Structure 1
């Protein structure tokens, strides 16, 4: 199996995308430790849960340095509420930056000694929000942009012992999708905006994480792998199509 005998830590791995990544790592042969504030709502066979708030630097260092071995780190914990910039003060936005940018740095630094010894791999879970405007989640988008840049710099500083890459993830169908996209009709409508015609499943992200963590990606570091189903159809194409003169064709 691709990751047989490897030990992996997945932050925020108890639900949604993190749970999908954890399942994929287990299926590939890894022993998976889930680090999150709350235990999984549903059993995740092959995993072990460690209660941990990744924003607590002292606790992160205590937990990770005590591990006997670590080969793979997946920095998945993150997220943000919908919050327009102006109504909130900077301190509220800072909390989003702490979770989505500072926490992955904290966890990576705490894991560095283990990963260096194991010649291991870090997979950052980024977002398409880091490369396009993100109204309502601007701090989140800024954090994810910073995370991608951090990964590229980390990949250079920690080479050749540790590989570091980013999965740039688009829309994913999880147990909480209705909070973002509405009912089944809303999810179907959003799915039609994706070139591949559907939202990602958590295991789609998990399969990509397994690839980057495995020897199949042994010469890949400092890279950003897009997992977004082809991206977003440019709005101008639909607008131009609606405004086109019937029967007119460019030569």
Structure 2
């Protein structure tokens, strides 16, 4: 039975990832600074919660080592914890931007190192998954530090994959677009219509967001989990250093939208 650690797994995308691994029979541990309001479950199975600030490198090392001792292995690390408030670079204090880089780039580096120390000694090695973002693939005005961190995360994953392949430790990245999390729905003050397809939102603002995605809807957290499950599984045993796009086709280009509405010249 696989042992899986999901950082930031107490809500949103992380909770969806945890539920998918629980469904597959894995022993799942979720960590974060605050305990979830209710347990992360799938049916009768529940993820174990461990308090952790992922920016604390020593605490991350201690947790990974302890989980390996208690469970016999640590097979999968999902570096999901991250996020940012919206803030222009010219606004706020320098330390606020530095904290965004620390959470979204340095913390995954610390956690990956901690997991590698355990995984490199295991017969089957292990799998490290980085949760990236489309913000790291194009300009990210309003969240520049976050976009820079996610771009750096993809580069980091590629380097670690090359360094750690001889140890049997695979490192891959999932590049996410918008996901229909509770937090996103709360932000826009809208719920999901029970008559719509998964990820399709009845509210005006969320519907407008969904229309920017070629697939026409937001991702569901569990869909991210299914992609993680594949990359962590033996079916992807020769896949390392890869970036898997989980974004419904990306983002519609403003140029295409503009030209589609412009009548042809006579």
Looking at structure 2, the residues matched to 181 and 211 of structure 1 have their Cα atoms a distance apart, in angstroms, of 32
SS of the residue aligned with 2:102? helix
- The alignment status of 1:147 with 2:153, answered yes or no, reads yes
Which residues of structure 1 form unaligned runs of 5+? Answer: none
2:163 pairs with 1:157: yes
TM-score of the superposed pair, with normalisation by structure 2: 0.88
1:80-103 CA-to-partner distances (Å, cap 9, x unmatched) read: 001110012322100000000000
1:33 shift after superposition:
0.6
Alignment-derived partner of residue 50 in structure 1: 50
Q: Who is 1:97 aligned against?
A: 101
Q: Which runs of 4+ in 1 moved over 6 A?
A: none
Aligned-residue CA RMSD in angstroms?
A: 1.4
Stretch of structure 1 that moved more, 187-196 or 198-207: 187-196
**Structure-1 residue corresponding to 2:260:** 241
Q: Establish whether residue 131 from structure 1 lines up as the match of residue 137 from structure 2.
A: yes
- Does residue 1:205 correspond to 2:224, yes or no? yes
User: Which residue is equivalent to 2:59?
Assistant: 59
1:34 CA drift (Å): 0.6
* Matched residue SS, 1:158: helix
Task: Please name the residue that 1:13 is paired with.
Answer: 9
Given the alignment, which residue of 73, 77, 81 partners 1:77? 81
1:25 maps to what in 2?
Answer: 21
Residue segments in structure 2 that go unaligned for 5+ positions in a row: 191-202
TM-score by length of 1: 0.93
How many residue pairs end up in the alignment?
243
